[in-house]
Structure 1
Amino acid sequence: MLDYRYDTFYTLAKQLNYTRAAEELNITQPAVTKHIQSLQAELGVNLFIYEHRELSLTPSGEYLFQQLDQLMPELHTIYRTLTQNSQLKIAVGRTIGECFLFQHDTAFSAFFDREDIELSIDTTDVILPKLFSNDIDIAIVAGEIDEHKFTKTHFLNQRLVGICSPLNNEVRTATTLNELTHSFLILRERGAGVIQVLKRVLAQSGLSIPQFKKHTHIANTDAIKKMVIQNKGISFLFDCSVKEELDKGILLEIPLRPITSFAFYLVTKKGREREPFIKQAIKELKKTI
């Protein structure tokens, strides 16, 4: 809906690299140059300056970029409302993916069977930048949410659970985090929402991850649980991730006090929660849990 030259300018202003802008726009680099030259000639101002092998925005270019950055979400809303045939892109954190997404005969899993939904699964720190750049429409994540950039709606609560092997006599009766610092801490990958939550919990007790005797990060929840079952260390995961193992008794919950519950949120880029398709999807998602 926007003049193609402004679209080219906006992409180049974000990338500050002609090659990357051309790749994102799926046009040639000379075409990018031509679009920018045409726009500058029409406006009568220079928008970019190239010095010391670096591309940067002029004051006029910075002003235009800021204005377009505010307009783009609204233009996106108008376009999607008029076309009504775009796919809704939803990203979920790994905990949601592991615990809820592939359960049979649930309203939540059935929601993602719709043909107009494109689903991805990743860590919170990967998802949120994509949400901000409009590559994703809705995210379902835990962890820190910048409320200046995003709008969040409560989705569900999960407890953060400390787990150990039934053979781990040293920590199986621990009630404080300080009693665990001599343990080998086996954690999800950096950037996972559960890590952000754990850091917050530790900080409340004046602790941090490096204060543990040893720690490692593994990007696979099943591998973490197997290592803990084999008494190679302890871990912290959301309770839905370990419910089956706790019910079977092959893992034990460390009886820490207080038991802490944390929220998962439906998150959109600020302002986009008003888009009809996103608003409707959030309404439907809230009914599935």
Structure 2
Amino acid sequence: MLDQKLRTFIKVVEYKNYTKAAEALNLTQPAVSQHIKKLEAHYGLPLIELKGKAVKLTKQGEIVYNYVQVQRSNEAHLLNKLNRVSQPIRIGATLSIADYYLESYLDYYLHKGYDDVSVTVNNTKVMLQKLLDDELDGAFIEGIFDKDMFNYEAFTRTSFKAVVRHHHPLLKETRQLKDLYNYPLILREQGSGTRKIFEQYLSQQNESLLSFKKIYEIGSFMLLKSMLKNTDAVSFMYENVALKEVTNQTLDYVTLSDVTIERPLYFIYPKHSLKSEKLKTFYRRFFNADN
């Protein structure tokens, strides 16, 4: 990594002006002048000549400038090589996506012998924090996130459905959302993207979770679906999460005339990540876009 005095020197040369260099570096002009003086003292040679406000390199300054440019190029090359080192790509996924959307893609990716990958599963809130804390490189999420902070790709769109046990009273005819309020509601825990999306939808309808008869929080979809099979409770989840049970006729989707929720599922990673190119390659390969 280049010394700050050398970075200041480069900016002075590029802008040919101390004031503009100071603005670019968010430093005061005296601080810039001090950096140059210390650099000249270190080498024991004059590096810059001032003619009025114009900046001109001495012959010694030209040598230092060319050397620093080589060092900058070497540093960029080093970062690129480090980025390609065969370390596992640290990927996160929410429970919905990990268990019900990624299995076949992950099998294909590993079968092809691409870069090693480690997968962490948790809710959307935890995934976002791990990305910001540099504990993950990228994540598959379905929840709400700040698009100014992350690069993102929508890898699919899916329907968000009301789900109940097979032969539930709500299945006799087309219903409205208010018809569900008389039944217990089973939700994922706080921080879950699935829950956040449903809460946001209710808010847009000037409703809330308090409209329901009773609320249960379950952190596992397997346990949640088991409770649905054995009670008259209702839940909301992505279509694929209940697809197997609907096919086996143990659960069913409730047809609601006034509720249509379709959401994209995303792969995201922090903006300005040093692994951006590696993550783009991972994304293409993961979804077989390179073939």
Paired position in structure 2 for 1:119 = 119
Q: What is the alpha-carbon distance in structure 1 between the residues aligned to residue 210 and residue 97 of structure 2?
A: 27
Q: What is the alpha-carbon distance in structure 2 between the residues aligned to residue 166 and residue 130 of structure 1?
A: 38
Q: Residues 259 and 252 (structure 1 numbering): CA distance in 2 closer, same or farther, change over 3 Å?
A: same
| Higher alpha-carbon Rg | 2
Deviation at 1:172, TM superposition (A): 5.1
Paired position in structure 1 for 2:81 = 82
2:100–2:241: 8 Å Cα contact kept in structure 1? yes
Q: What is the alpha-carbon distance in structure 2 between the residues aligned to residue 2 and residue 124 of structure 1?
A: 38
Paired position in structure 2 for 1:267 = 268
Structure 2 counterpart SS, 1:96: helix
Structure 2 counterpart SS, 1:179: helix
Give deviations 1:146-178, integer Å, cap 9, x for gaps. Answer: 012112211111211101123421465352211
Superposed counterparts of 1:14-33, under 5 Å:
none
Paired position in structure 1 for 2:248 = 248
Deviation at 1:110, TM superposition (A): 2.4
Superposed counterparts of 1:71-150, under 5 Å:
81-83=80-82, 84-85=84-85, 86-102=87-103, 106-112=104-110, 114=114, 116-150=116-150
Q: What is the alpha-carbon distance in structure 2 between the residues aligned to residue 126 and residue 92 of structure 1?
A: 10
Q: What is the alpha-carbon distance in structure 1 between the residues aligned to residue 129 and residue 144 of structure 2?
A: 13
2:141–2:266: 8 Å Cα contact kept in structure 1? yes
Q: Residues 134 and 77 (structure 1 numbering): CA distance in 2 closer, same or farther, change over 3 Å?
A: farther
Moved over 4 A (4+): 76-80, 112-115
Give deviations 1:44-73, integer Å, cap 9, x for gaps. Answer: xxxxxxxxxxxxxxxxxxxxxxxxxxxxxx
Q: Residues 273 and 140 (structure 1 numbering): CA distance in 2 closer, same or farther, change over 3 Å?
A: farther
For the aligned residues, what is the CA RMSD? 2.6
Q: What is the alpha-carbon distance in structure 1 between the residues aligned to residue 176 and residue 274 of structure 2?
A: 40
Deviation at 1:130, TM superposition (A): 1.0
Superposed counterparts of 1:204-243, under 5 Å:
204-243=204-243
Amino acid at match of 1:109: D
Q: What is the alpha-carbon distance in structure 1 between the residues aligned to residue 185 and residue 199 of structure 2?
A: 13
2:108–2:286: 8 Å Cα contact kept in structure 1? no
Runs of at least 5 residues in structure 2 that lack an aligned partner in the other structure: 4-34, 36-74
Q: Residues 2 and 93 (structure 1 numbering): CA distance in 2 closer, same or farther, change over 3 Å?
A: farther
Q: What is the alpha-carbon distance in structure 2 between the residues aligned to residue 217 and residue 2 of structure 1?
A: 52
How many aligned positions are there?
Answer: 214
Deviation at 1:87, TM superposition (A): 2.3
Q: What is the alpha-carbon distance in structure 2 between the residues aligned to residue 128 and residue 241 of structure 1?
A: 22
Please give the TM-score of this superposition, normalised by the length of structure 1. 0.67
1:167–1:231: 8 Å Cα contact kept in structure 2? no
Paired position in structure 2 for 1:176 = 176
Q: Residues 215 and 94 (structure 1 numbering): CA distance in 2 closer, same or farther, change over 3 Å?
A: same
Amino acid at match of 2:109: F
Q: What is the alpha-carbon distance in structure 2 between the residues aligned to residue 278 and residue 235 of structure 1?
A: 34
Structure 2 counterpart SS, 1:190: coil
Structure 1 counterpart SS, 2:178: helix
Q: Residues 220 and 268 (structure 1 numbering): CA distance in 2 closer, same or farther, change over 3 Å?
A: same
